[in-house]
Structure 1
Amino acid sequence: MKKRFTSVVSTLILASLSFNVVQAHAKSDNFSAEQLSHVIEIKKQALESDLAWDLVESLTTEVGPRMPGTPGDEAGVAWAVAKFKTMGFDKVWTEPATFPKWIRYSESASVVSPAPQALHITALGNSISTPKEGLEAQVIEFENLAELENAADNAAKGKIVFINYHMDRDRDGNGYGPAVKARSRGAVVAAQKGAVGYVMRSVSTATHRFAHTGGSHYKEGVTKIVSSAISNADADQLHRLVALGKPVTININVQAKSMGEGTSYNVIGEFTGSEFPKEHVLIGGHLDSWDLGTGALDDGAGIAITMAAAKFATLKGQPKRSIRVVLFAAEEFGLWGAKAYAKANEKTLSNIVAAAESDFGADKIWAFESNVHASSLPLVKEIAAMLKPLNVEYIANNAARNGPDLIPLRPFKVPAFALSQDGTDYFDYHHTADDTLDKVDPIKLRHNVASYAIFAYMAANAKTRIIGK
C-alpha cells in the first residue's frame, strides 16, 4: 500500500519553505517573488504526488528487466516514448546507441569436495562460457585484487581464483570503487597468474543470498576465463572451507555468449523554453537494467524521479529555458548510450545550463553539490537554500559526482550537479535478483521528485544562466 505524508509533517515543511521564500527574496538577484512562490507550490504538489511511483511501478511490471539487446530493452524504449508523450512533453525523440551485445543463458555452481553443496552464483557481464559440463578445479583464495596482482607468476596455475574482498557500507557508496576493481579486472589478472576460472565475492553489502552481477572485461592477448561472482553468504562459506586446510574443489557452469554489435536507443523528452529554448537543464537516468531483477532501484527509480520532476518543474507554465530528460541506453554495459549522446550532441553541449543524473536508488536526498564557475555560485546557493528545508545540505563547489552517464560530458565543462541520495543499503540490492519494486519507498520517492523539481525549475528560470568550469 502506498504511504502518505501526515498533515503535520506537510504543514511543517511548507511553513519552513514559506519562511525560506521571504529570506531568499530579500536578497535574490535571480528570482521574483512570484517565482519563489512557484517553488513552494511545485514542492507541495510533488510531495503529495505518486506520479514517480506510478511510473516505476508501470516500468517494472509491464516491461520488467531491460538488459541491453533483449526484448525487454526494446519494450523499455517503446514504454519511455509512450510515457513522455502521455505526460505532455513538447518534444520526444530517440537517438541510437550501439554496444557489444552479450546474453546470459544459464549459470550454476557447487562445491564438489570436501563438503558437496550448492553455491549461488552469477556470471559477470561479458563472461565467456564454461564447457557444457562446467569447469571443475581447486580453489585458491586471495583477500583482494592487489594480493592477486602481487602473487608469483603461475601462483594460480590450473586453479579457480577466488577473491574474497568485503565491500564497506556507507551512505555515499564510497566502498563501491575499491570493490568493483576486482569485478572489472579480476578475470584478466587471474588468467595472467595461470588460473582456469575466476569467482569473486559479490560487490555488495548484502547479507541475503543473492549474487551481484555487473560488467567485467578481458584484455587482448590474455586468455579469457569464466568470470563470475557468488553471494556474500556463499563467499563466507567458501572461505571457511578453504580455512580448514583441505583442498577445496568447485564446479562452475556458465553458459553465455557475446553476439557482436547491438543497437538500442537513448529516449529524450523535453519541455521547450519560452525565452532561451536552446539552453536547457539536463536531468535523467539510464533506461536499461541487468536481467536478474526488474531494475527498480537501478535505475527505474531514477528515470521515474526525473521524468516526474520535469513535469512538476513546468507546473506553473513554460520555463524560460528548456528542461530535457534523457533516459540513457546501455549504461550497464559501459556507458554506451551516454557516449553516443555526447558524440551526437557535441555541438550543442555548451547549451546545457545544469546537469544531474539520478542513478543511486530511491532513498532520500541528503546532499547537494555543484561544479560551476565561481560567478554562478550565488545562484547555486539560492537553489541550495530552497532545498535545505527538505534536509538537503549544500556541501561544496567541487568535482560533483553527477552520475555515470554524465561522465562523457565532463570534457565539455558542463555545469554539473549532484543531488546525493542516501545509499546506505543501496548495495544490498544493486545488480541482484533482489532489485525489485518492493524496495522502493513511495514517500522517499516523492522527496526525490520534489528536490529534482526545485533544482530543474530554478536552473531553468533564473535571470542568469549557470556557467560551468
Structure 2
Amino acid sequence: IQRSVAFEGEAEVVVLEDGEEESEYEGLDLSGKIVLTQGDVSRVRELAVEKYGAVGILFDGMRKAPPVRERIDLPDALQYTSFWWRGGEQRCFGFVLSPREGDRLRALIRKQAQDGGEPVRVRAMVDARLYDGSLEVVTALIPGKTEEEIIVVAHLCHPQPSANDNASGVATALEIARALQRLISAGRLAPPRRGIRFLWVPEITGTFAYLAAHETEIPRVIAGVNLDMVGQNQELCGSSFLIERPPAATPSFAPDLMERLREELFDGAPSHTGLGSYPLFRHAVTPFSGGSDHYILSDPSVGVPTPMLIQWPDKFYHTSEDTLDKVDPAMLAHVGSLAATYAYFLAVAGPQETTWLGHEMVTRHKARLGRVLQQAMTEMLTLEDGEKLARLAADLERRVAYLVGRECEALDTLRRLWPEGDALIADLQHEVTIAAEHELDRVRAALVQRVSALGLDALPPVARPEPDEWTTRAGAMIPRRRYPGPASWRDHQHLLSPEERERWRKLVKAREKGGRTLPILAQYWADGERTVLEIADLVEMETGQRDVELLVEHFRLLAKMGLVELD
C-alpha cells in the first residue's frame, strides 16, 4: 500500500468482514496483529490500527465499477490503494493482495481455525521512509497575442502501469501541443489571440499548487479542458466516452461548444444509403460529478469553466491491469482532435466566432428547455389529482425560471471572448426569455384543458410544508467561504472530533446517491449571500435531489474546520 511505513517482523492475521463499523471489533484482540480486509483502508486504519492496536493491513478488495466490474471479474489484479498521512495519526504498513490470493488466505485461516491449528502468521518487510519532497507541475505555453489563456490539463500521477489513467490524457495533451505548434509554425493555422497553456500535474494537488503559485494570472484564463482517462478500448474496458459539463454554479459557453464540436467530429461511418452517418463508439454528455482537476478550475471562486473528457466506467480502472493493451489509438485521435479544436477555437475566437457560438448556445438551450417542458406535459396528462397537478405546475414555473437564469448568465460569459458584444448578448438573452414564456404558455394552456377534463373549477393552492428543524436551521445559516477553490475534507477532517467524523461518515454512507457530490455543489453555490436553504433549492434544481440535513451538517463542519464562516 502506497506510503506504508517501515516494518519487519511476523504477525498473526485476523480476518475482518470489511472493518468499517465498530461492531465488527467486539471481542477481537488486534494488538500487534495484521488485519485482512476488503473495506475502506482509511477507515480500517482508523479503527483497527489507531484504536485497537493492529500493526498493519492486508487489503484484498476490488472497487466495484458497475456494470462492467465486480470483484470476481479481475481475480488476479491488484487494486490501487494508498494511505494519506496528514500528521498526528498512527501510521502503519500494508500490502495489496489480488482477490484470488485474498480468498486463498481467507480459506487457509478458516481451515486452521476449524481444525484447531495454529493461527496463520505472515512475515512482512517494508523498507521505506517518509521525507519532504516536491510536486512536479509541468507546464508549456503556445503564446498568444494577449495575456489571456486557455488551459489544457492532464494529471500525471498514479502508480504504474496506469495506461489509461492517466498516461492516455498526458499523451493526448502532448500530441495536441505538438500538433498545434507545428501547424501554427508552418502557417497552416493563424497565431492565436490567446495563449494555450498545457498543464501536466499530480491530480488535484498539482492544480492547487499551480493556481496558488499563479494566483494573479487566474483572471486571465478564459476556459479549460481536463483530459482524464481518454484512451480506452471500449470493447475491452466497457467504457463510454463522456463530456462532463461544468457545475451549474459556473455557467459558461464552454460545454455547449464542446458538445457541438463532438457532433461535428464524431460522425464516423456513413449509413448504407450514404444519406446519414453515425459514430462507431459510445459517447454521451453527463452533468458535473467532479473527482479530478476540473473540479478545482470550475469552482466559481476560481472561475475557469472546464469540461472534462473521460471514458467511464472502466473495467480495469485503478488496478494493475490498466495496461497499454487496453488503449485504443483511434480513440486517442478522436479525443485529441476534439480537445485541440476546442482549445484552438477559444484561443482565436473574436466577434464572428462569438456570434456563432452565442446562437449555438441559444439553440441548445431551447432544445433542453423543450425536453423539460415536454416531460412536464407527459406527467401532467397522466395525473388525476388536483393537488399533484398544482404542485407540478408550480415546480415547472420554478424550474423554467432557473434554467432561463442560468442560460442568461452563460450568455454573459461571451464577453470573455468579445468584450464589445453587449448588443449581441442582450438580444440573445431577450430571445431566451421570450422563448421560455412562449413555451410555458403552451403548457399552461394544456394545463387548463387538463383541469377542465378532470371536472375541476381551478387548481387548489399549493400547500407549503411546515418547516422542520433542518429547514429552519438552513434558513438562518449563511456560509462565507474563506479560501478560493473547493474545501478538502481529507486534508482537514483531523480537526474534527472523532464523534463528528463518525456522524459525517454515517450521513454520507446512508445516502446511495449524492452523499459526496451534493456537498461539493453546495460549496459552489455558496456566495456569501445565500442561505443554506437557498443553496439547497439551487442544488435541487441542478440535480433533482434535496438533502437539507446533509448540507446543514456539511457547512457546520466546514466552519469547525475553519474553511467557512457562518452568519
Query: How many residues get paired?
Result: 314
Pair 1:233 & 2:100 matched: yes
**SS of residue paired to 1:262:** coil
Alignment of 1:296-375 (within 5 A): 296-312=163-179, 315=183, 316-329=189-202, 331=203, 335-360=204-229, 362-363=231-232, 366-371=241-246
Structure 1 residues 148 and 439, CA, compared in 2 at 3 Å: closer, same or farther? farther
Supply the distance in 2 between the matched residues of 1:198 and 1:128 (Cα, whole angstroms). Answer: 12
**3-state secondary structure, aligned to 1:413:** coil
- Deviation of residue 137 (structure 1)? 0.8
RMSD: 3.3
Matched, 1:453 2:340: yes
Aligned to 1:163: 37
Give 1:439-450 correspondences, 5 Å limit. 439-450=326-337
How far is the alpha carbon of 1:248 from its aligned partner? 4.9
Among 30, 37, 46, the alignment partner of 1:188 is: 46
TM-superposed CA distance for 1:140, in Å, is 2.3
Given candidates 37, 58, 63, the residue that maps to 1:199 is 58
Higher relative contact order (CA 8 A, sep 6+): 1
Q: Contact between 1:187 and 1:227, CA under 8 Å: does it hold in 2?
A: no
Deviation at 1:193, TM superposition (A): 2.2
* Residue identity matched to 2:95: S
Matched, 1:254 2:91: no
Cα distance in 2 between the residues matched to 1:261 and 1:300 = 26
**What SS is found at the alignment partner of 1:309?**
helix
Moved more, 308-317 or 414-423: 308-317
Q: Which has the higher helix share?
A: 2
CA distance in 1, matches of 2:15, 2:248: 51
2:32 & 2:249 partners in 1: Cα distance?
57
Provide the identity percentage: 22
Moved more, 236-245 or 416-425: 236-245
User: Are residues 328 and 406 of structure 1, via their aligned partners in 2, closer, same or farther at CA, if it must alter by over 3 Å?
Assistant: farther
**Aligned AA (1:151):** Y
Question: What secondary structure is seen at the aligned counterpart in 2 of 1:162?
Answer: strand
Matched AA of 2:245: S
- The answer to whether the 8 A contact 1:139-1:250 is kept is no
Query: C-alpha offsets along residues 357-376 of structure 1, whole Å, 9 cap, x if unaligned?
Result: 22325226622232267895
Q: Which amino acid aligns with 2:2?
A: G
CA distance 1:406–1:394, shift in 2 (3 Å): closer
Distance 1:153 1:285 in 2: 48
C-alpha spacing 1:362/1:375, structure 2 compared with 1 (3 Å): closer
- 1:429-440 equivalences under 5 Å are 430-432=318-320, 434-440=321-327
Amino acid at match of 1:140: V
- What SS class does the counterpart of residue 270 from structure 1 fall into? strand
What secondary structure, in the 3-state scheme, does the structure 2 residue paired with 1:425 have? coil
The change in CA–CA distance for 1:379 and 1:340 in structure 2 (over 3 A counts) is closer
For the 8 Å contact 2:297–2:306, the answer to whether it is kept is no
Q: CA deviation at 1:289?
A: 4.2
Structure 1 position 456, deviation (Å) = 1.7
Equivalent residues of 2:57, 2:95 under 8 A apart? yes
**Taking structure 1 as reference, are residues 266 and 218 closer, same or farther at Cα in structure 2, changes over 3 Å only?**
closer
Quick one: which amino acid aligns to residue 265 of structure 1?
Answer: E
Does structure 2 retain, via aligned residues, the 8 Å contact 1:185–1:216?
Answer: no
Alpha carbons 2:254, 2:306 under 8 Å: kept: no
Indicate yes or no: 2:16 matched with 1:138.
no
Structure 1: how far apart are the matches of 2:253 and 2:135? Answer: 40
Code of the residue aligned with 2:149 in structure 1: it is H
Residues 404 and 382 (structure 1 numbering): CA distance in 2 closer, same or farther, change over 3 Å?
Answer: closer
* Rounded Cα–Cα distance in structure 2 between residues aligned with 1:264 and 1:378: 32
Q: Counterpart of 1:407? A: 296
Q: In structure 1, how many angstroms separate the alpha carbons of the residues matched to 2:213 and 2:3?
A: 26
Alignment of 1:152 with 2:26, yes or no, is yes
* Compared CA separation, residues 378 and 130, structure 1 to 2 (3 A): closer
Residues in 2 aligned to 1:280 and 1:153: alpha-carbon distance in whole angstroms = 60
Query: Which sections of structure 2, spanning at least 5 residues, go unmatched?
Result: 64-68, 184-188, 235-239, 267-278, 355-413, 418-523, 526-567
Query: In 2 relative to 1, CA 408–414 (structure 1 residues): closer, same or farther, beyond 3 Å?
Result: closer
TM-score normalised to the size of structure 1?
A: 0.58
The CA distance in 1 between the partners of 2:31 and 2:284, in whole Å, is 52
1:394 aligns with 2:271: no
Q: Which residue is equivalent to 1:417?
A: 307
Q: Amino acid of the residue matched to residue 395 of structure 1?
A: T
Report the Cα offset of residue 446 of structure 1: 1.3
Instruction: Give the conservation status (yes or no) of the 8 Å contact 1:372–1:416.
Output: no
Task: Report the residue type matching 2:218 in the other structure.
Answer: L
Greater Cα radius of gyration, structure 1 or 2: 2
C-alpha contact (below 8 Å) 2:38/2:62 kept by paired residues: no
Q: Give unpaired runs (5+ residues) of structure 1.
A: 1-123, 166-181
